[in-house]
Amino acid sequence: MASAQAIYTNEAVMTTIVESQASSAELFLGAVGGGAEVVASIEELRQHLMDRLDESVVILGPSVNLTAAASLAETLRVDRPALSIVLVRQRVDTSVLGDALRSGMREVVEQRDLTGLSLAVRRGHTLYQALTASRGGTDEAAGGRLVTVFSAKGGVGKTTVSTNLAMSLSMLGHRVCLVDLDLGSGDVAISLQLFPVSTIVDALALVGDIGAEELAPLLTKYSDNLWTLLAPNAPELSGSIGRHMVGTILTALKQSFDYVVVDSPPAFDDHVLQAFDHSDLLLLLLTLDIPALKNLKITLETLHLLNFPREKYRIILNRADSKVGLTPGEVEKTLKAKISASIPSSHDVPASVNRGEAIVASQPKHPVSQIFMTIAHEAVDAMPNVTPRVAPTTPAHRSDPEGDKRGLFRRKSRIA
């Protein structure tokens, strides 16, 4: 099974190291892996770059003079905006950091922090992909659509539905980002067996405007068409992500993907309200039990108070065939609202989660999968103006080494 880390290190990363000390250069080469080349000076680098238009990262080692490094960065920022410069210094203090970032370098790393160097190079490479992949003549005005899957009660199937909906949309040929907003105990990573290098919490370290470019390194790839922004492993880390930050992140993702699907926690917290504000469609989940029904009733009343347009939400019944005394007809009467789709119960649903698969991808003909596909089609109908740009396909598995070579943010052209 591949982690996100393994996916990126499989890439032929186009990196050049500028360092005159052979022993340091050796160490850096070891840290960034195969594919990197070493030159001894900035003059050599300039020559070297003329032949390499697809270079994604330049590491300026400690032997490179800071003034010369800053001047190079200022030129490259204009000439090669997709190229990241990573400065390595023996010691990093605020003055070095300030000079470096002002001149347009993307990262500053201490000499002995080889792991930090490797991560910085990987971020630079991801950014390069994001920026260059977007030069395809795209329809920015259309913008992506956002669908939030919500229930104020726990365990009714939010993660199951959001994961399978995101997968279904990606299988229909749309580029999709699945966001785990259940910051306290998000299950998307585990459901798809993803091992994030970065999570939504890393957005806290971003300074200035947060746009698609800044978010790109925080995403974890599942397949060519499906990316995820995952919740942190340690829930206490998520405490300081504010409502505003969530709104900014969702707006940026909408600029970059055809569809953003949001999985939510079982509570009306600030993040959820922010997601509602950015939603073009809300899928409200229900199961046939009184607590779920009571919670949905309260949710509908709250949406009414918030003036949330009625045409923007749908009620989805999960485990619809459970024989528990309540019927779908009674539920509709109580809620004074129609159920839009009913997902049957099946042992195959948790079984697929246990294998780290979305059932819609692993068993597309399964009755549950067919309902998910119908929900996806209806979501597309409810949120039009987004056209598939690649042929419908079964998603490439996340360990596909070819997987990263196309992909991320192909529509985005904010920076490029």
Ligand X SMILES: Nc1ncnc2c1ncn2[C@@H]1O[C@H](COP(=O)(O)OP(=O)(O)OP(=O)(O)O)[C@@H](O)[C@H]1O
CB of 281 to ligand X, least distance (A): 18
Q: How many residues bind Mg ion (CB under 5 A)?
A: 3
Binders of ligand X in range 330-349 (CB under 6 A): 343, 345-346, 349
**Beta carbons within 8 Å of 139's beta carbon, 6+ residues apart:** 387, 411
Largest distance between two CA atoms of the chain: 78
Q: Does 270 bind Mg ion (CB under 5 A)?
A: no
Name which of ligand X, Mg ion, none residue 256 binds, using a CB cut-off of 5 to 8 Å depending on partner kind: none
Binders of Mg ion in range 352-371 (CB under 5 A): none
Contact of 220 with 234, CB cutoff 8 Å? no
Query: Residue 409 in 3-state DSSP?
Result: coil
Q: Which is nearer to ligand X, 20 or 345 (CB)?
A: 345
Q: Does 292 bind ligand X (CB under 6 A)?
A: no
Binders of ligand X in range 229-288 (CB under 6 A): 266
Q: Which is nearer to ligand X, 345 or 374 (CB)?
A: 345
Q: Does 84 bind ligand X (CB under 6 A)?
A: no
Binding segment for Mg ion (CB under 5 A), chosen from 75-83, 158-166, 194-202, 327-335, is 158-166
Q: Which residue is nearest to Mg ion (CB)?
A: 159
Name which of Mg ion, ligand X, none residue 155 binds, using a CB cut-off of 5 to 8 Å depending on partner kind: ligand X
Q: Which is nearer to ligand X, 177 or 353 (CB)?
A: 353
Number of helices (H) and strands (E) in the chain: give both, helices first: 16, 13
CB of 322 to ligand X, least distance (A): 9
Binding segment for ligand X (CB under 6 A), chosen from 38-46, 93-101, 115-123, 150-158, is 150-158
Contact of 250 with 274, CB cutoff 8 Å? yes
CA pair distance 245, 268, nearest whole angstrom: 17
Binding segment for ligand X (CB under 6 A), chosen from 151-159, 201-209, 218-226, 387-395, is 151-159
Q: Does 350 bind ligand X (CB under 6 A)?
A: yes
Q: Does 211 bind ligand X (CB under 6 A)?
A: no
Query: Of 214, 224, 221, 199, whose CA–CA distance to 7 is shortest?
Result: 221
Among 61, 144, 157, 217, binds ligand X (CB under 6 A): 157
CA pair distance 399, 237, nearest whole angstrom: 28
List b or e across 345-378, with b for residues whose CB sees 16 or more CB atoms inside 10 angstroms: ebeebeebbeeebbbbbbbeebebbebbbebbee
- The arrangement of strands across the sheet holding 313-318 comes to 220-223, 226-229, 176-180, 259-263, 145-150, 281-286, 313-318, 339-343
In total, the chain counts a number of residues equal to 416
Q: Which is nearer to Mg ion, 184 or 211 (CB)?
A: 184
Q: Which is nearer to ligand X, 136 or 367 (CB)?
A: 367
Among 353, 373, 375, 383, binds ligand X (CB under 6 A): 353
Q: Does 187 bind Mg ion (CB under 5 A)?
A: yes
**Which residue has 């995820």 as its token pair?**
228
Q: Which is nearer to ligand X, 183 or 353 (CB)?
A: 353
CA pair distance 275, 262, nearest whole angstrom: 8
DSSP E strands in 62-197: the ranges are: 84-89, 107-110, 145-150, 176-180
Among 154, 173, 247, 364, binds ligand X (CB under 6 A): 154
CA pair distance 411, 408, nearest whole angstrom: 8
CA pair distance 269, 403, nearest whole angstrom: 36
Q: What does residue 127 show for φ and ψ, rounded to 5 degrees? A: -65, -40
Q: Does 148 bind Mg ion (CB under 5 A)?
A: no
Q: How many residues bind ligand X (CB under 6 A)?
A: 20
CB of 330 to ligand X, least distance (A): 20
- Kindly state the tokens that stand for 274: 């922010």
Amino acid present at 67: T
Among 160, 170, 223, 295, binds ligand X (CB under 6 A): 160
Q: Which is nearer to ligand X, 85 or 284 (CB)?
A: 284
CA pair distance 344, 240, nearest whole angstrom: 38
Name which of Mg ion, ligand X, none residue 160 binds, using a CB cut-off of 5 to 8 Å depending on partner kind: ligand X
Binding residues for Mg ion (CB under 5 A): 158-159, 187
Binding residues for ligand X (CB under 6 A): 151, 154-160, 182, 187, 266, 318-319, 343, 345-346, 349-350, 353, 368
